[in-house]
C-alpha cells in the first residue's frame, strides 16, 4: 500500500539574537507544548507518538550526544528517539521515511540550536574540518563560503550591488514574517558600506547569530484529520552529499543540489521546476547563495543567476518571501525554517506576504562547508 505523509502541525519560537533567559531545553519546551495543544496528540504506544526525531549539534550545544539532554522536553522518554546532526530538513526526510515505510503513523520532529552560546560560531564550524590540514589553516564555514562566492562572482558577473539587493529584500521580507528575527531595515548603500568579513562577503551578506527552536508533527495522510483540518502533504524528498575536501569540488557546479532535486522531483512528479514550483525557500546563509542555489534547483539556468535577478526572478518565483536564512536562522535549522515557512504559506497563514492560489512549495536545506550536503523537500496543498 502506498502511503502519503502530511505535516499536521508546526510550532516555533521567535528567532532571536540571544535567548539568554532560557536553556535550549526551555526553548524546545515552548514548541513542544504548542504542538501538544494544537493537536492533542498522545503518547499512547498503540495510537500515539512512539518515535521522535531530533536535530541538534554537539559542538553548538557543547555537549556530546546532544540529543540525550533534550529527550525529556520533547516527550521522548520511554520511547524511540533518533538524532539528525546535519541540517534539520533531513530530520523531516527521515520522519517521512519512517511513516512511508509503515514503521510508524506519527513522528514528532524537534530541532534546536543556540548559536549565541558559543563565543564564536566560526570556532565551532572550524571543528568541522580535519585537524591535520584544513583546520590549522583556519578554514570555517564563513571563509569556505567566501571561496564559493568568489568563484560564483567570477563565473557569472554577480556584483556587490546584486548582493546588496538580496540583503535589502531579505530584511524587508523578514519584517513581514512572524517569528522572524527582528533586523534593522537597510539600504543598498549601507550594505555595500558594511565591512568585509571574508572577501567578497560583507558582514551584512552573512546571516546574523540566531537562537531558535521548532517542532513539527508528521502523520500518515489517512490519520491527519485526527490532528488538523489543514494538513500539508510532503510529496518529495531528496538529499545528496558531495566531497568533504573543498578542493575536490567544483564550487559552482551544483553537483549535490542537482542530485537531491532530481530525486525529490521524481518522487513528486515534477518535470519542469521553473513552472511547477509556486514558492521556493532557499537556505541562503550568505547572500550570494540565493541566486547560486536558484540555479541548482533549476528555476534558472547555469550561470544565469544575476540575469535572473535583474529580470525579477526572485519575486516571480516567490523565492525566500520569509526573508530566508539570511534574515537569521541558526545553523542546523536553516532547512527546517524553510519548511516551516512553506508550511505556513500552504496553510494560508503567512500574513502580509501570503501568496494566493499556492499549490506546491520547495524547501531547501544545506549542511557543511560551501554546501557539501543538500536536501530538498516538496510540500503540497
Partner 1 sequence: MTEKTTAGLVADIFATMESRVIPEGVDGITANYGYIITGPGGGQWTVCVADGRVTVVEDLVTPDVTTTCANDDWIAITLGKLDGMTAFSSGKLKVTGDMGLLVAAAGFFEKYQPPLAEITVADIFATMESRVNPDGVQGITANCGYRITGDNGGEWTVCVADGKVTVLAGIKDPDVTTTCADTDWIAITLGKLDGMTAFSSGKLKVTGNLDILSTAARFFKKYSPPSAGPEEAPEELIVLKQVLSIPQTFATGPVMGHFLNALKEKRILANQCPECQRLQIPPREVCAECVVRCKEFVQIGPEGIISTPDVAYYASPDPLTGETRETPYCSCHFLLDGCKDHETMWHELKASDIPRAERGVRVRPVWNDTLTGSVTDIKYFEIIDD
Residue ranges that bind partner 1, judged by CB under 8 A:
19-23, 25-26, 29, 33, 43, 59, 62, 71-73, 75, 77-78, 114, 116-120, 123-124, 127, 131-132
Our CB check for partner 1 shows the closer of 62 and 311 to be 62
Our CB check for partner 1 shows the closer of 52 and 84 to be 52
CB atoms within 10 A of CB 77: 11
As a whole number of angstroms, the distance between CA 17 and CA 338 comes to: 19
Give the total residue count for the chain.
381
Q: Minimum distance between the CB of residue 117 and partner 1, rounded to whole angstroms? A: 6
Our CB check for partner 1 shows the closer of 73 and 290 to be 73
Our CB check for partner 1 shows the closer of 62 and 352 to be 62
Give the orientation angle of helix 289-297 with respect to helix 141-156, to 10 degrees. 70
As a whole number of angstroms, the distance between CA 61 and CA 65 comes to: 9
Q: Minimum distance between the CB of residue 225 and partner 1, rounded to whole angstroms? A: 24
Q: Are 148 and 251 in contact (CB under 8 A)?
A: yes
Omega within 30 of 0 (cis) for the link into 200: yes
Q: Minimum distance between the CB of residue 343 and partner 1, rounded to whole angstroms? A: 24
Q: Minimum distance between the CB of residue 172 and partner 1, rounded to whole angstroms? A: 31
Q: Minimum distance between the CB of residue 115 and partner 1, rounded to whole angstroms? A: 11
Q: Minimum distance between the CB of residue 245 and partner 1, rounded to whole angstroms? A: 18
Our CB check for partner 1 shows the closer of 23 and 307 to be 23
Count of CA atoms in the C-beta half-sphere (13 A) of 237: 20
What DSSP string describes 47-116? TS--EEEEE--HHHHTSSSGGGGTTGGGT-TTSEEEEE-S-THHHHHHHHHHHHTTS-SEEEEEEEEEGG
As a whole number of angstroms, the distance between CA 295 and CA 279 comes to: 15
* Placement of cell 560560531 in the chain: 121
Q: Minimum distance between the CB of residue 24 and partner 1, rounded to whole angstroms? A: 8
Amino acid at each position: 500500500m502506498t502511503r502519503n505523509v502530511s505535516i499536521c502541525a508546526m510550532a516555533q519560537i521567535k528567532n532571536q539574537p540571544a535567548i539568554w533567559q532560557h536553556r535550549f531545553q526551555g526553548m524546545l519546551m515552548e514548541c513542544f507544548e504548542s504542538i501538544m495543544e494544537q493537536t492533542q496528540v498522545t503518547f499512547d504506544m498503540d495510537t500515539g507518538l512512539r518515535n521522535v526525531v531530533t536535530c541538534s549539534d554537539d559542538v553548538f550545544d557543547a555537549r556530546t550526544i546532544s540529543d540525550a539532554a533534550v529527550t525529556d522536553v520533547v516527550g521522548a522518554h520511554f520511547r524511540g528517539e533518533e538524532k539528525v546532526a546535519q541540517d534539520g530538513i533531513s530530520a523531516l526526510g527521515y520522519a517521512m521515511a519512517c511513516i512511508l515505510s509503515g514503521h510508524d503513523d506519527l513522528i514528532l520532529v524537534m530541532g534546536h540550536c543556540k548559536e549565541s552560546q558559543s563565543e564564536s560560531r566560526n570556532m565551532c564550524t572550524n571543528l568541522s574540518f580535519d585537524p591535520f590540514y584544513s583546520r590549522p589553516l583556519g578554514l570555517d564555514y564563513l571563509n569556505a563560503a567566501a571561496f564559493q562566492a568568489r568563484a560564483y562572482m567570477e563565473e557569472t558577473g554577480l556584483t556587490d550591488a546584486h548582493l546588496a539587493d538580496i540583503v535589502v529584500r531579505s530584511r524587508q521580507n523578514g519584517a513581514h514574517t512572524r517569528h522572524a528575527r527582528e533586523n534593522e531595515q537597510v539600504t543598498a548603500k549601507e550594505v555595500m558600506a558594511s565591512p568585509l568579513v571574508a572577501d567578497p562577503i560583507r558582514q551584512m551578506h552573512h546571516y546574523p547569530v540566531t537562537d531558535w527552536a521548532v517542532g513539527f508533527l508528521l502523520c500518515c495522510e489517512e490519520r491527519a484529520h485526527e490532528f488538523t483540518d489543514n494538513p500539508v502533504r510532503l510529496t518529495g524528498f531528496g538529499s545528496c552529499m558531495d566531497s568533504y575536501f573543498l578542493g575536490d569540488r567544483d564550487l559552482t557546479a551544483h553537483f549535490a543540489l542537482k542530485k537531491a532535486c532530481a530525486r525529490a522531483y521524481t518522487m513528486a512528479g515534477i518535470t519542469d521546476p521553473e513552472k511547477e514550483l509556486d514558492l521556493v525557500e532557499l537556505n541562503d546563509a550568505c547572500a550570494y547563495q540565493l541566486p547560486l542555489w536558484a540555479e541548482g534547483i533549476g528555476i534558472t539556468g547555469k550561470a544565469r543567476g544575476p540575469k535572473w535577478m535583474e529580470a525579477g526572478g526572485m519575486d516571480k518565483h516567490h523565492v525566500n518571501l520569509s526573508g530566508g536564512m539570511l534574515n537569521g536562522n541558526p545553523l542546523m535549522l536553516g532547512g527546517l525554517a524553510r519548511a516551516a515557512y512553506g508550511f505556513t504559506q500552504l496553510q494560508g497563514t503567512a500574513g502580509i506576504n501570503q501568496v494566493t492560489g499556492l499549490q506546491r512549495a520547495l524547501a531547501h536545506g544545506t549542511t557543511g562547508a560551501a554546501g557539501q550536503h543538500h536536501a530538498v523537500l516538496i510540500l503540497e496543498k
